[in-house]
């Protein structure tokens, strides 16, 4: 007899085990160090900027919320699983299938009992961490003092408490539902719940646990349904946001009934846990579902169709009025001043005499067009660039306010070519240089801007201060990162500006500010080598003990990081303030929870020609405040936040969360006050709402007989909104001209007349007193144009310009050469008792070198148009030879260009009065010859007859020369 011994079990190799453990430890250390490097780099950035408290607050809040979320999920789930297992029947009769399940599960039971709670706990922790702002806002909530009209609750309840309570209830529902499902699963696996032979048997322990969990879940649902009553005030219906008649008389009472019913059914489950009868809670659940259908769906439907629709205006008017009042308050348009405007359309000599302040400031330099011109004149080297479009600001020049178009000269690293080594890109080409500013209302003889600040090194009216710092280390187009700074006495290597050719002709500098974390020690160099994935940072000998690394240099990015609760305006602009170039950034607090205020898409509202793809963090909002003005120093990147609207409840709460990060308005200098302006995006949102909410009564709102919209930009082929514009102008009723922003309205709808219905302005000048806002700042003024005298809208006026025979013929002639004709911004101005339209016309080469120059100015008033080389000539021609006012280009004699010297007319009796047609017979003959030559040349080109093409081209050249000659003769 022989026996076969069992094979020896393989013994784990200790070497392999040690290697595996070592590799695992190394992997954990490496991953941990990368995480540490990222966090440490963030701390260095915030600490250098003086906002480390912002980062600590975020880290602390996220950790606390993660722990709370983890424990709030993991502990109940763990207790539920443990109870279900420990209270299982000892001698339960199980089916063979359950026996098999237990055999599979039992080896993993201990791991599962701990692992499942931890698994769900991690998910819950991360979810709770993402909601830290909601929780912290609730903990730091403030009352607004305003009550909602339905429940008489403070509106702060909707801004702070309701979102928090909803999140807590949603989280609690998830915890209870997971616990209930896992308890049922464990009870089933271990025989506490047995299903079979058309019978359900539940042990007493399992019954108590499941009934209590089900009751708690229903109780939480009842509280959630109770809160849903308040949510009706922030929900959108077909016409308004907020509770309507149906909500007030059917939905809200129905939700109250369902919430109470859910609480009663929850009590029935608790009773079942004691007495062991499931019939009553199950019947209760059924009745709860039926009642939800009856009072939550059927009854509102009946009220809507049988009571409201036949009497909608009568029944809904009080609720429409609530919506009107709340919307105006939430968007800051409740202080709108409206005036009826009976526009005149006839012209007469001297008609603009009382509007001389306005006409002197009319902008003819379009910031969206002249950026290539500024680049060609002021670029100096290919590696410089200017923003496109340029920004708009104003300065005091010789005691007078001067509207300007401005930009800073920034680096364009893409143009370095073969010089784009890491050393050059990081250590040499580190900053831009200087600001360029031009008068908005003037031009040179050849159609270029008139600069008040320009050149390298910079010279002009803005840089007379001895402490002026022209270097731009922080801007919208700065390199991703630069390493700057060196000990005193070290040779300069940062290129300041070129003076000629060769290295000897270059002026260099060394950064002397405190603009970024220090990378002088090996550890910090290692941290930033990992952050930017560059070994050059670690190994370069161009880095010294005093080196700083500058990154996150875009003004919007910097403000976003130190004030993450703000939505920032998409149009930051540079300004010279107290001798420093600073970026001024407007910050908004937003909410979608203001009761009865209508929702608007922020992205759609602020999208227009100048910003077709705006970036927004929160899109659908119904509350907005320009609560913060921020500045970013262009030299050292210092960020300063000022509380512009300290009455805003959201800002008050955030100031409690981030104390000492926002300075009071009183800290703003007089020079800074003189350059802040009413923000563009806020004005765009307000005009979007005023298209509907310019009415005051519910009847007009219901009938929608006076709905308006913002016109599309008539200079663009694609349908995109016309942008608002800043001008120094006097509105009807104002005592003096002021720096303001303007926009127009036309009738709402898709196929409506393009006539003006409204004209909106907002006072944008905050004054020049330190820490004190001008009392008129932010004042909204609306001219409601009387429909009895139709005033052409922007689309009609543009069509008139384009269709006018003399204008279109001249433009077609220009296009025949190597030129493109560009229509500038179409400005609308309420002067002379009516509405004046002004549009500059630019000409540029169609080749690779773009240099748009102002050649003509189109003006229109009523049905009259004029087309001249200067705005002054065009206004005088339009108003019978003497407009009575002076434009900014009145002293300019343009260089000779092919253009008609006469007024172009449209419609019957068109043309400016007092001047006849003003077109000489000789000029008209030459113009006709040119037109016919163009047609003949095109026909010959189509037929391939090059002989006729040459003859026609020669005639066209002769006609153009004749036109030029006549223009030179006046």
Q: Which pLDDT score is estimated for 750? A: 78
Determine if the peptide bond prior to 106 is cis (ω within 30°).
no
797-829 pLDDT per residue, tens: 999 888 887 787 777 776 666 678 889 999 999
* CA-closest candidate to residue 784, choices 835, 855, 827, 819: 835
Highest mean pLDDT among 140-144, 195-199, 749-753: 140-144
Exposure b/e, 360-391, CB count within 10 A at least 16 = b: bbbbbbbbbbbbbbbbebbbbeebbbbbebbb
Q: What is the mean pLDDT of residues 620-643?
A: 96
| Integer Cα distance of 939 and 952 in angstroms | 10
- CA torsion 800-802-804-809 (nearest 10°) is 170
DSSP letter for each residue of 605-634: HH-BTTBSS---S--EESEEEEEEEEEEET
Residue 297 parent element (H or E): none
Please name the residue that has the structure tokens 């009706």. 232
Helices 794-803 & 805-816 angle (0-180, nearest 10): 70
| Integer Cα distance of 765 and 817 in angstroms | 44
Q: Which pLDDT score is estimated for 905? A: 33
| Integer Cα distance of 558 and 582 in angstroms | 13
pLDDT band, residue 966 (cuts 50/70/90): low
Query: Taking the model in full, what pTM does it have?
Result: 0.88
pLDDT band, residue 965 (cuts 50/70/90): low
Q: Is 506 helix (H, G, I), strand (E, B) or coil?
A: strand
Q: Which pLDDT score is estimated for 10? A: 54
- Look at residue 878 and tell me whether its pLDDT is greater than 80: yes
Q: Which residues contact 921 (CB under 8 A, 6 or more apart)?
A: none
Are 150 and 247 in contact by the 8 Å Cβ rule? The answer is no
User: How many C-alpha atoms does 675 have within 13 Å on its Cβ side?
Assistant: 29
Q: Which residues contact 733 (CB under 8 A, 6 or more apart)?
A: 339, 781
* CA-closest candidate to residue 469, choices 420, 380, 538, 408: 408
Q: Which pLDDT score is estimated for 900? A: 37
294-316 pLDDT per residue, tens: 998 999 999 999 999 999 889 99
Q: Is 922 helix (H, G, I), strand (E, B) or coil?
A: helix
- Look at residue 74 and tell me whether its pLDDT is greater than 90: yes
| Integer Cα distance of 273 and 211 in angstroms | 5
Whole-angstrom CA distances from 740 to 30, 397, 551, 769 are: 57, 18, 35, 18
Direct distance between the N- and C-terminal alpha carbons of the chain, in angstroms, rounded to an integer:
132
Q: Which residues contact 97 (CB under 8 A, 6 or more apart)?
A: none
Percent above pLDDT 70 for the chain: 90
Q: For residue 427, count other CB atoms closer than 10 A to its CB.
A: 21
CA of residue 724 relative to chain centroid, distance: 15
- Look at residue 265 and tell me whether its pLDDT is greater than 80: yes
Query: Residue by residue, what is the 3-state secondary structure of 133-153?
Result: HHHHHHHCCCCCCCECCCCCC
In the numeric block, which tokens belong to residue 596? 């009865």
Q: Which pLDDT score is estimated for 239? A: 85
| Integer Cα distance of 577 and 633 in angstroms | 10
717-739 pLDDT per residue, tens: 888 999 999 999 999 888 888 99
* CA-closest candidate to residue 347, choices 851, 837, 965: 837
Are 668 and 58 in contact by the 8 Å Cβ rule? The answer is no
Please name the residue that has the structure tokens 């120059």. 853
In the numeric block, which tokens belong to residue 262? 């859910």
pLDDT band, residue 1 (cuts 50/70/90): very low
- Look at residue 667 and tell me whether its pLDDT is greater than 60: yes
Are 858 and 841 in contact by the 8 Å Cβ rule? The answer is yes
Burial group, residue 323, by CB count within 10 angstroms (0-12, 13-18, 19+): buried
Are 665 and 627 in contact by the 8 Å Cβ rule? The answer is no
Q: Which residues contact 720 (CB under 8 A, 6 or more apart)?
A: 607, 608, 609, 612, 712, 713
Q: Which pLDDT score is estimated for 475? A: 95
Angle ∠(57,58,63) on CA atoms, nearest 5: 100
Instruction: Provide φ and ψ at 321, rounded to 5°.
Output: -65, -40
| Integer Cα distance of 291 and 170 in angstroms | 23
Q: Which pLDDT score is estimated for 206? A: 84
In the numeric block, which tokens belong to residue 440? 């908005």
Residue with the bigger pLDDT between 135 and 103: it is 135
Exposure b/e, 937-956, CB count within 10 A at least 16 = b: beebeeeeeeeebeebbebb
Q: Which residues contact 40 (CB under 8 A, 6 or more apart)?
A: 527
User: How many C-alpha atoms does 851 have within 13 Å on its Cβ side?
Assistant: 10
Whole-angstrom CA distances from 160 to 567, 654, 798, 867 are: 18, 11, 48, 57
| Integer Cα distance of 920 and 319 in angstroms | 65
Q: What is the mean pLDDT of residues 502-508?
A: 71
Q: For residue 80, count other CB atoms closer than 10 A to its CB.
A: 24
Are 552 and 564 in contact by the 8 Å Cβ rule? The answer is no
In the numeric block, which tokens belong to residue 841? 């016309």
| Integer Cα distance of 634 and 472 in angstroms | 5
Angle ∠(441,447,451) on CA atoms, nearest 5: 55
In the numeric block, which tokens belong to residue 206? 């399992």
- CA torsion 20-24-29-35 (nearest 10°) is 160
* CA-closest candidate to residue 126, choices 220, 57, 63, 51: 63
Q: Is 632 helix (H, G, I), strand (E, B) or coil?
A: strand
Q: What is the mean pLDDT of residues 541-567?
A: 95
Q: Which has the minimum average pLDDT: 144-158, 652-666, 930-944?
A: 930-944
Q: Which pLDDT score is estimated for 395? A: 93
In the numeric block, which tokens belong to residue 687? 């005009």
* CA-closest candidate to residue 190, choices 84, 68, 296: 84
Exposure b/e, 51-74, CB count within 10 A at least 16 = b: beebbebbeebbeebbebbbbbbb
3-state helix, strand, coil in the chain (%, to 5): 45, 20, 35
In the numeric block, which tokens belong to residue 479? 């390199």
Q: Which pLDDT score is estimated for 204? A: 85
Ramachandran sector of residue 862 (left: φ over 0; alpha: ψ -120 to 50; beta: rest): left
State the DSSP code for 13.
Answer: P
Determine if the peptide bond prior to 747 is cis (ω within 30°).
no
Q: Which pLDDT score is estimated for 969? A: 56
In the numeric block, which tokens belong to residue 954? 């020669």
User: How many C-alpha atoms does 893 have within 13 Å on its Cβ side?
Assistant: 4
User: Mean of the per-residue pLDDT values for the chain?
Assistant: 87
In the numeric block, which tokens belong to residue 845? 């080469």
């Amino acid at each position: 007899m022989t026996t076969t011994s069992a094979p020896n079990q393989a013994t784990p190799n200790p070497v392999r085990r040690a290697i595996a453990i070592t590799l695992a430890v190394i992997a954990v250390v490496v991953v941990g160090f990368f995480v540490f490097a990222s966090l440490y780099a963030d701390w260095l950035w915030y600490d250098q900027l003086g906002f480390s408290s912002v980062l600590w607050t975020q880290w602390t809040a996220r950790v606390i919320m993660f722990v709370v979320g983890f424990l709030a999920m993991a502990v109940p789930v763990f207790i539920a699983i443990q109870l279900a297992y420990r209270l299982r029947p000892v001698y339960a009769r199980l089916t063979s299938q359950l026996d098999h399940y237990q055999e599979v599960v039992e080896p993993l039971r201990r791991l599962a009992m701990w692992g499942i709670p931890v698994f769900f706990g991690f998910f819950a922790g991360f979810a709770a961490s993402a909601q830290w702002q909601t929780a912290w806002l609730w903990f730091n909530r403030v009352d607004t003092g305003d009550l909602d009209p339905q429940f008489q609750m403070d509106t702060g309840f909707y801004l702070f408490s309701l979102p928090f309570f909803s999140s807590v209830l949603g989280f609690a529902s998830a915890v209870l539902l997971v616990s209930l499902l896992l308890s049922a699963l464990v009870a089933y696996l271990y025989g506490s719940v047995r299903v079979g032979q058309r019978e359900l048997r539940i042990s007493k322990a399992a019954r108590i646990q499941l009934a209590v969990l089900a009751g708690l879940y229903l109780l939480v649902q009842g509280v959630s349904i109770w809160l849903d009553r308040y949510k009706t005030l922030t929900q959108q219906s077909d016409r308004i946001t907020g509770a309507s008649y149906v909500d007030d008389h059917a939905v809200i009472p129905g939700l109250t009934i369902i919430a109470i019913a859910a609480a009663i059914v929850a009590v029935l489950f608790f009773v079942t846990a004691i007495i062991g009868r499931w019939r009553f809670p199950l019947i209760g659940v059924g009745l709860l579902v039926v009642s939800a259908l009856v009072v939550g769906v059927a009854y509102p439907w009946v009220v809507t169709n049988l009571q409201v629709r036949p009497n909608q205006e009568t029944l809904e008017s009080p609720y429409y009025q609530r919506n009107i009042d709340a919307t105006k308050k939430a968007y800051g348009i409740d202080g709108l001043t409206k005036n009826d405007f009976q526009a005149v359309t006839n012209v007469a000599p001297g008609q603009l005499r009382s509007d001389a302040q306005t006409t002197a400031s009319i902008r003819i330099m379009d910031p969206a067009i002249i950026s290539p011109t500024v680049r060609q004149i002021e670029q100096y080297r290919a590696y410089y660039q200017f923003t496109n479009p340029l920004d708009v600001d104003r300065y005091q020049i010789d005691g007078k306010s001067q509207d300007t178009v401005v930009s800073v000269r920034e680096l364009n690293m893409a143009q370095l070519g073969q010089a784009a080594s890491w050393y050059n890109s990081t250590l040499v080409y580190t900053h831009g240089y200087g600001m360029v500013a031009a008068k908005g209302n003037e031009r040179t003889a050849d159609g270029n801007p008139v600069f008040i600040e320009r050149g390298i090194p910079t010279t002009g009216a803005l840089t007379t201060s001895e402490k002026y710092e022209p270097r731009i280390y922080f801007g919208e187009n700065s390199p991703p990162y630069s390493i700057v700074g060196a000990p005193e006495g070290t040779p300069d290597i940062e290129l300041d500006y070129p003076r000629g050719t060769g290295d000897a002709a270059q002026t260099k500098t060394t950064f002397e500010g405190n603009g970024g974390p220090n990378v002088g020690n090996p550890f910090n160099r290692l941290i930033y080598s990992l952050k930017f994935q560059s070994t050059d940072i670690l190994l370069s000998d161009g880095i010294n003990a005093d080196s700083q690394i500058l990154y996150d240099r875009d003004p919007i990015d910097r403000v976003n990081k130190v004030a993450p609760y703000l939505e920032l305006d998409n149009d930051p602009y540079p300004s010279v303030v107290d001798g420093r170039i600073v970026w001024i950034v407007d910050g908004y607090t937003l909410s979608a929870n203001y009761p009865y205020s209508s929702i608007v898409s922020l992205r759609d509202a602020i999208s227009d020609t100048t910003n077709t793809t705006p970036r927004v963090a929160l899109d659908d909002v119904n509350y907005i405040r320009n609560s913060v003005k921020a500045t970013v120093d262009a030299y050292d990147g210092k960020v300063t936040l000022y509380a512009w609207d300290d009455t805003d409840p959201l800002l008050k709460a955030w100031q409690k969360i981030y104390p000492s990060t926002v300075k009071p308005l009183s800290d703003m200098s007089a020079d800074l006050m003189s350059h802040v302006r009413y923000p563009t995006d806020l004005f765009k949102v307000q005009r979007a709402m005023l298209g509907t909410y310019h009415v005051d009564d519910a009847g007009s709102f219901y009938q929608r007989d006076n709905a308006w919209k913002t016109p599309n930009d008539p200079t663009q082929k694609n349908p995109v909104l016309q942008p608002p514009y800043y001008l120094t102008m006097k509105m009807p009723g104002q005592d003096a001209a002021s720096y303001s922003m303007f926009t127009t309205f036309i009738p709402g709808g898709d196929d409506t007349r393009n006539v003006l219905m409204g004209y909106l302005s907002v006072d944008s000048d905050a004054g020049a007193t330190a820490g004190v806002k001008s009392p008129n700042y932010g004042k909204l003024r609306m001219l409601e144009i009387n429909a009895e005298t139709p005033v052409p809208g922007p689309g009609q006026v543009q069509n008139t310009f384009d269709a006018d025979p003399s204008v279109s013929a001249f433009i077609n002639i220009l296009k025949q050469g190597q030129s493109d004709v560009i229509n500038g911004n179409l400005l609308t101005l309420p002067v002379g008792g009516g509405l004046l339209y002004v549009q500059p016309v630019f000409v540029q080469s169609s080749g690779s070198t773009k240099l748009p120059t102002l050649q003509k100015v189109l003006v229109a008033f009523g049905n009259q148009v004029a087309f001249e080389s200067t705005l002054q000539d065009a206004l005088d021609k339009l108003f019978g030879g003497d407009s009575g006012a002076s434009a900014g280009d009145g002293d300019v004699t343009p260089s000779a260009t092919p253009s008609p010297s006469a007024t172009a007319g449209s419609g019957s009796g068109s043309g400016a009065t007092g001047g006849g047609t003003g077109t000489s017979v000789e000029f008209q003959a030459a113009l006709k010859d040119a037109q016919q030559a163009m047609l003949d040349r095109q026909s010959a080109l189509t037929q391939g007859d090059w002989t006729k093409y040459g003859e026609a081209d020669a005639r066209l050249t002769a006609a153009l020369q004749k036109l030029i000659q006549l223009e030179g003769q006046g």
